[in-house]
Amino acid sequence: MIGLPRGVQDIMPSEVKIWQFIEKTAREIFESYNYQEIRTPIFEFTELFTKGTGETTDIVIKEMYTFLDKKGRSLTLRPEGTPGVVRAFIMNKIYNLNIPWKVYYIGPMFRYERPQAGRYRQFHQLGVELLGIKDPIADFEIIKIAVEFLKNLNLANIEVEINSLGCQKCRPIYRKALMDYFASFKHELSEIDKERLERNPLRLLDSKEEKMIEIKEKAPSALDYICGECQEHFEKLKNYLNISNIPYKINPKLVRGLDYYTRTVFEITTDILGAQNAIVGGGRYDNLVEIYGGPPIPGLGFALGIERLILLLSKIDLDLSLDEKKLIYLAIIDQNSNNFIIDLSEKLIEKKYRIEIGDPSLPLKNHLKIANRLKAELVIFIDSLIKEEKIKVKKLKTGEERILNIYNLVSELEIML
Ligand code: AMP
């Protein structure tokens, strides 16, 4: 038997309802804020991620699925959605005529991580991106959409954490302060953290190394170093959140695992699984379009992991069968009724029922077994009665049986249901 590589999984038909529910809710919410779906390729040039996601990030250092194609070009399975969206924005010169540009995506991402509960090598994210608005109302809108989306999934126990990482002007000052602070603990740092210190000291705030947990407690906070403009931006965002009653917490140690963030970063966490877990991550990336060779256009967005979301939703009661169409099983016993069957199927579909056309080679009792297993509401027996223009129908829940005339069959069925 050929199995599956580590860290990937099938989403079987029995599990797919929750995926469809999440995707449907996402589309509804995102589209109601006038975001349109974009579908970018699964693989891109490796450079897109090294330049954008960033050379100091765990993703680029050790988690990318990178390979050479037959012509020796380096390609990478996308580890996150933002770079592809921004590339598409620039390549299609959207900035000339179409900003602000508001898009969302839903799809698989790939990271070579150690698989564990809720962490996979192929996983799925949905996210939104907004390009072309500098004003903090955009930061607010992005957070609001994420919150609203989670609320619509009945996830109530959520907390928004925000921070500001400053801009090109003030970030170097903060960076230097972090560098100086952590350098005084250099002898205590693990090898990985020493490397982080060299490459990008902001990463150390993200470190899960045991020693670091204590050290980073007293590390300088970005909010003490950001410039007046960044400060004002942050204050306005807080004001919007206050007005719309979105509870939030300022987490001055919040950094995100991607290099391109500027100013606002945020996470939405929940304690449904016990420890506090991030479910949504996002922020502003005002330099990314320029990094990719485009004009200076600001951007921001968030991404959410669908597998982790499903893990959370499994802890709360969700009835997904509510809007399911009722199932009618057609048990074909008379082999000469093709015209009638095709006609009836079309009528039932038109009336928004689901139908299961039984295998005509099966004996009667197997039809009933299958209809029960499928939880059909009704079984329609197409047998010799048809010669008398009659049809037997059975309601499985109650066992009630009726002989109906074929000419008003559909309206009679509606009464039985
Ligand atoms: P990030 O793109 O790293 O900011 O991650 C955003 C969200 O994607 C996280 O909060 C997770 O829910 C999800 N995520 C990230 N990596 C994985 C993974 N390997 N497997 C499953 N979900 C993931």
Q: How far apart are CA 138 and CA 161, in angstroms?
A: 17
Mutation test residue for ligand 1: of 8, 61, 85, 109, the one with most atoms within 8 Å of CB: 109
Handedness of CA 319, 17, 28, 110 (dihedral sign): positive
Which pLDDT value is given to residue 301?
98
113 lines ligand 1 (CB under 6 A): yes
Going from the first residue of the chain to its last (417 residues), give the mean pLDDT of each consecutive group of 10, the final group possibly shorter: 96 94 97 98 98 90 96 98 98 91 98 91 98 98 97 90 94 91 87 83 83 86 95 97 95 86 94 82 96 96 96 85 86 87 93 94 94 96 91 94 91 89
Which pLDDT value is given to residue 185?
87
Which pLDDT value is given to residue 206?
81
Q: At what angle do helices 171-183 and 191-199 cross, to 10 degrees?
A: 150
Which pLDDT value is given to residue 322?
66
Max Cα distance, the chain (Å): 95
Which pLDDT value is given to residue 243?
96
120 lines ligand 1 (CB under 6 A): yes
CATH of domain 325-416: 3.40.50.800
Structural domain boundaries of the chain?
A: 13-170+226-313, 325-416
Which pLDDT value is given to residue 232?
97
286 lines ligand 1 (CB under 6 A): no
123 lines ligand 1 (CB under 6 A): yes
Which pLDDT value is given to residue 195?
82
Fold agreement between 13-170+226-313 and 325-416: no
Q: Cβ of 78: how many Cβ atoms within 10 Å? A: 24
Q: How far apart are CA 108 and CA 79, in angstroms?
A: 9
Q: What class does CATH assign to 13-170+226-313?
A: alpha beta
49 lines ligand 1 (CB under 6 A): no
Expressed in angstroms and rounded, the spacing between residue 40 Cα and the centre of ligand 1 is 18
Mutation test residue for ligand 1: of 105, 110, 123, the one with most atoms within 8 Å of CB: 123
260 lines ligand 1 (CB under 6 A): no
